[in-house]
Amino acid sequence: MDGTSPHDGRALSGLRFSAATAAFQVEGARTADGRGRTIWDDFVDTPGNVSDGSTAEPGPDSYHRVDEDIALLSGLGVDRYRFSISWTRVIPDIGASQSINETGLDYYDRLVDVLLAADITPEPTLYHWDLPVALEAVGGWLNRDTAHHFADYASVVAGRLGDRVRHWYTINEPASTSLQGYALGELAPGRALLFDALPTVHHQLLAHGLAAPMLREHGALQAAPTLNHSLILPATETETDLAAAGLLDAIMNRLFTDPLLVGEYPDLSAFGVQMPFADGDMELIAAPNEVYGFNYYNPITVRSADGELPFEMVPTPGAATTGFGPMWPIRPDTMRDFLIDLHERYGAQLPPIIISENGAAFPEPETTTTEIVDTERIDYLSSHLSAVLEAKAAGVRIDGYTVWSLLDNFEWAEGWPQRFGLVHVDMNTGTRTPKASYRWYRDLIAAANA
C-alpha cells in the first residue's frame, strides 16, 4: 500500500468501498435522445451563475463513455458505483405529455448491465439536484405535489431497473437543495427565500418517504436518502456564538436527522416557520431505512450576526483548507465526532451508516499528459478514513465508504475548476487520466479485501 496511508488491511476489512458521481455533473449530452430541461439547465444557461461560465458540457461526457468509466471502476476494485439518474432523461416533459422516454431509460439500463457484468453493484441515486423545470415552474420543492411526482418517477425507474438494482438512494443532500438552492440562491433554482425555504425540506423528505416503500416493492434491499452534515463549531464560547451555532446546527443537521430517525422536527420557532406536514407524513418519513447515507466534507464555524440571518460563517481557525479556500477547512476529527454524536444521540434508531460521499478539490491543471500527484487529496481521504475507523472503534456501525468523486466533474456554481476526481478529466476532450489518488485507493481496497 502507498506509504502515505496509515491503514492496514485488517482495520479496513468489512467496509465496502465505492466511488460516486452524479448525472448532471458527468453526463454532458444535455440535449441528447430527448432529455428534458432541469433547473440546472436554466441555471447554467444564465450568464453569471457559474464561476467560469461553463455549462456542464462537454465535460466528462459519461453519457457516451460508459465502458471507459466502468473500466476505471473495475481497475479500482470498488464493490459499488454510486451514480445518479436524470429525472428528465426518463420523463422529459412532466406536466405536459408525462410520457416515458425509453431511450433515456435505455442508457441507465445498459449502465446497470455493464456494471453487473464487471461485478460492481449499481447504487443509483434517483434525485441529485436536477429537478425538471416544469415542476419548478409550479413551485418546485415548495409544492407538495413535487413529492408525488418524484414517487411516480421512482416507480417508473424501478419498473425498468428493479429486477437488477437492489441498492437505491432516493434523494441526495436535501440540506443543500433547501439552504443553498432555495434559501440563499447559490445553487439552482437560485431562490433567496431565507427561512421561507424551509418547507422544501419537508417535501423532499416526503418524496423519500413515498418512494422508498415503492422501491422495496420492486425488490430493493436498500432505499435510503443521503444526507450532508457538518459539525457546527461556535467561533467563541460566548453565549451569543453558542446560540448561533445551535441555530445553524438545527437547520443544517437536526432538521434532517430528527424527522428521519425519530419522526419529528426540531423546534423551529426561532425561524418563524411551521413545517407543512399532513397526517401520516411523519410516519412515512421516519419509516426505518436499511442504511443511513452520510456525506461529510468539512465543519462550519459560525458567529452570531444581526443581519438577515442570525449567524455568519467564518474561517475555522488553524485548519488547512481545500481548493475552496477558508470556508472549506480540513478537520477529519469533526467527522469522527459527528459520527459518534449521531450514534449516541439516536441509538438503535440509527441504521448502519454508509459514508456516501467524502472527498476534496484542489487546484489542478486543465490538461495533463502525465499522472497528477495529488498528495493533498490522498492525505485528505486517508485522514478521513482514519476518522471513520476511529468512529467505528468507538462503536459506530459504519459499513461503507464512498469517494466523491470517481471523475473530475462539473462542480455546480463553481464549474470545472474545482476538481474532486480520482481521475483527471480534460473537459474539452473528455480524456481520462488516473491520478496518484486513484492508485492509492486501488491499493487500499486491495489491502482491505486481502
Q: Which is nearer to ligand IFM, 295 or 304 (CB)?
A: 295
Of 357, 364, 376, 411, the active-site residue reads 357
* CA distance linking residue 346 with residue 357, whole number of Å: 21
Does residue 265 bind ligand IFM (CB under 6 A)? Answer: no
The backbone torsions φ and ψ at residue 322, rounded to the nearest 5 degrees and listed phi first, read -95, -170
Q: Which is nearer to ligand IFM, 101 or 356 (CB)?
A: 356
Question: What is the distance, to the nearest Å, from the Cα of residue 415 to the centroid of all Cα atoms in its chain?
Answer: 17
Print burial letters for 138-169: b (CB count within 10 Å at least 16), e (below 16).
Answer: eebbbbbebbebbbebbbbbbebbbeebbbbb
What is the closest distance, in whole angstroms, from the C-beta atom of residue 20 to ligand IFM in the complex?
A: 8
Cell numbers linked to 413: 456554481
**Subset of 192-251 contacting ligand IFM (CB under 6 A):** none
Does residue 357 bind ligand IFM (CB under 6 A)? Answer: yes
Which of 443, 421, 446, 375 has its CA nearest to residue 59?
421
Q: Which is nearer to ligand IFM, 101 or 418 (CB)?
A: 418
**Subset of 55-114 contacting ligand IFM (CB under 6 A):** none
In the sheet where 292-296 sits, what is the strand order?
Answer: 121-122, 80-82, 16-20, 398-404, 353-357, 292-296, 222-229, 167-172, 125-127
What is the closest distance, in whole angstroms, from the C-beta atom of residue 8 to ligand IFM in the complex?
A: 29
- Provide long-range contacts, Cβ within 8 A and 24+ apart, for 418-423: 418/323, 418/324, 418/361, 419/323, 419/361, 419/362, 419/363, 419/364, 420/359, 420/360, 420/361, 422/19, 422/76, 422/377, 423/72
What is the closest distance, in whole angstroms, from the C-beta atom of residue 223 to ligand IFM in the complex?
A: 19
Q: Which is nearer to ligand IFM, 26 or 76 (CB)?
A: 26
Q: Which residues contact 411 (CB under 8 A, 6 or more apart)?
A: 25, 361, 417, 418, 419, 420
Exactly one of 411, 424, 444, 447 binds ligand IFM (CB under 6 A); that residue is 411
- Paired sense of beta strands 167-172 and 222-229, if any: parallel
Does residue 26 bind ligand IFM (CB under 6 A)? Answer: no
Cell numbers linked to 19: 466511488
Report helix, strand or coil for 77. Answer: coil
What is the closest distance, in whole angstroms, from the C-beta atom of residue 293 to ligand IFM in the complex?
A: 11
**Subset of 307-336 contacting ligand IFM (CB under 6 A):** none
What is the closest distance, in whole angstroms, from the C-beta atom of residue 394 to ligand IFM in the complex?
A: 25
Q: Which is nearer to ligand IFM, 177 or 382 (CB)?
A: 177
What are the strands, taking DSSP E only, across 118-164? 121-122, 125-127
Of 123, 173, 364, 411, the active-site residue reads 173
Q: Which is nearer to ligand IFM, 187 or 260 (CB)?
A: 187
What is the closest distance, in whole angstroms, from the C-beta atom of residue 200 to ligand IFM in the complex?
A: 17
Q: Which is nearer to ligand IFM, 63 or 129 (CB)?
A: 129
Exactly one of 295, 334, 382, 402 binds ligand IFM (CB under 6 A); that residue is 295
DSSP 32: G
Q: Which is nearer to ligand IFM, 22 or 255 (CB)?
A: 22
Do 407 and 421 form a contact (C-beta atoms < 8 A)?
yes
**Subset of 6-25 contacting ligand IFM (CB under 6 A):** 22, 25
* CA distance linking residue 45 with residue 391, whole number of Å: 43
What is the closest distance, in whole angstroms, from the C-beta atom of residue 184 to ligand IFM in the complex?
A: 15
**Subset of 375-404 contacting ligand IFM (CB under 6 A):** 404
Helices (H), 165-251: 174-175, 199-217, 239-249
**Subset of 123-182 contacting ligand IFM (CB under 6 A):** 173
Q: Which residues are 343's β-sheet partners?
A: none
366 is catalytic: no
Q: Which is nearer to ligand IFM, 130 or 241 (CB)?
A: 130
What is the closest distance, in whole angstroms, from the C-beta atom of residue 295 to ligand IFM in the complex?
A: 6
Q: How many residues bind ligand IFM (CB under 6 A)?
A: 7
What is the closest distance, in whole angstroms, from the C-beta atom of residue 405 to ligand IFM in the complex?
A: 7
* CA distance linking residue 299 with residue 301, whole number of Å: 7
For 26, counting Cβ atoms within 10 Å of its Cβ (0-12 exposed, 13-18 middle, 19+ buried), the class is buried
Query: CB nearest ligand IFM: which residue?
Result: 22
Q: Which residues contact 10 (CB under 8 A, 6 or more apart)?
A: none
173 is catalytic: yes
Catalytic residue numbers read 173, 357
Which residues form the interface with ligand IFM (CB under 6 A)? Answer: 22, 25, 173, 295, 357, 404, 411
